[in-house]
Amino acid sequence: MKLNTIKHIGRSDFVNMGPIRLRQPLPTNQVEMIDPFILLHHYGPYEINEKSNPFDLGPHPHRGFEPVTFLVQGEQLHRDSLGHESIVKAGDVQWTTAGRGIVHSEGPTKAFVKQGGFIEGIQLWLNLPAEKKMIPANYQHARHEEFNIITSKDQKVETRIIAGNLKGKYGKIATQTPVNAYMINAKFGGVESLQFDASHQGLVYLLKGKVIINDDVTLKLNENQLVQFNQDGEGFKIEALEDSLLLFISGKPFNESVATYGPYVMNTQTELLEAMRDYQMGKMGFLPAN
């Protein structure tokens, strides 16, 4: 397998999102976006209890993209204007297709706040192409135990297929565009090679641990770093220098203009103004009181 070369290695600096402090490996000053991926946030771990609950996002709208949550630890309650209400637990994934508009809220359940614990996860914003930005909204919740798993030959690396396909196995999530999403759990000394389509932009984000990429000892990826690959190979290789957790995502770029404002991702400024107007007029729905 021809390995993809490295285009960029980025840090994951802290940013403030209102009262929430989190890591933002994408976008950065060096990389505005990795088409079709708009944003990647690594939040937590936050300690949650009855005296401290920094991660409680009240009702807010989205349009024009797919906000995706990979929950690493803890427990969150999702509610939306489509009528969905689900408890997302560690290892679960919630994949929201905002389309023409949705209003949702997320935060720790009352029971989790009472018992106390830690919440940590990844929030990914996956763009939708112009032709799909106004499709009906949709919500998918896939549980940790529902994902297909590929295990390395040395039995030390488990790759959980969330979306797309790998070695003949498919992800639980149905996607609107060609995209792969894998959560990779590698034990110390584990080695694995993973393929992805040459037409895709691909990246790896290391949530914890330390790995070598592509047998290159100069490419030691440390915790909270992101690697973007060039579109010049068939995949990549990892070797875990300690127990590690990685998120790999890849997608076919749209090569379209992108206009963003707050919770909206559209193609033009006019469409952003229309989104704000439609939300104010209630066209994205409402979230009943909890």
pLDDT at 104: 96
What percentage of the chain has pLDDT greater than the value 70?
100
Q: Which residues pair with 39 in a beta bridge?
A: 125
Residues with Cβ < 8 Å from 107, sequence gap 6 or more? 53, 55, 56, 57, 58, 76, 77
pLDDT digits 0-9 by tens, 4-20: 999 999 999 999 987 78
Query: Would you state the pLDDT for residue 54?
Result: 74
Q: What is the pLDDT of residue 277?
A: 98
Residues whose CB is less than 8 angstroms from the CB of residue 237 and which lie 6 or more positions away in sequence, other chains included: 3, 191, 192, 193, 194, 213, 214, 215
Q: What band does 100 get if pLDDT is binned at 50, 70 and 90?
A: very high
Tokens of 114: 């009472």
- The residue length of the chain stands at 290
Handedness of CA 231, 232, 234, 238 (dihedral sign): negative
Whether the pLDDT of residue 289 is over 80: the answer is no
In whole angstroms, give the CA distance from residue 281 to residue 269. 19
The string of pLDDT tens digits covering residues 41-79 is 999 999 999 888 878 788 999 999 999 999 999 999 999
* All structural domains of the chain: 6-251 (2.60.120.10)
| Three-class secondary structure of residue 151 per DSSP | strand
pLDDT of residue 219: 80
CA–CA distance, 131 with 230 (Å, rounded to integer): 27
- SS3 state at 147: coil
Distance of CA 210 to the CA centre of its chain: 20
Give the pLDDT confidence of 179-197 residue by residue, as tens digits. 999 999 999 999 999 999 9
For the chain, percent of residues with pLDDT exceeding 90: 91
pLDDT of residue 290: 67
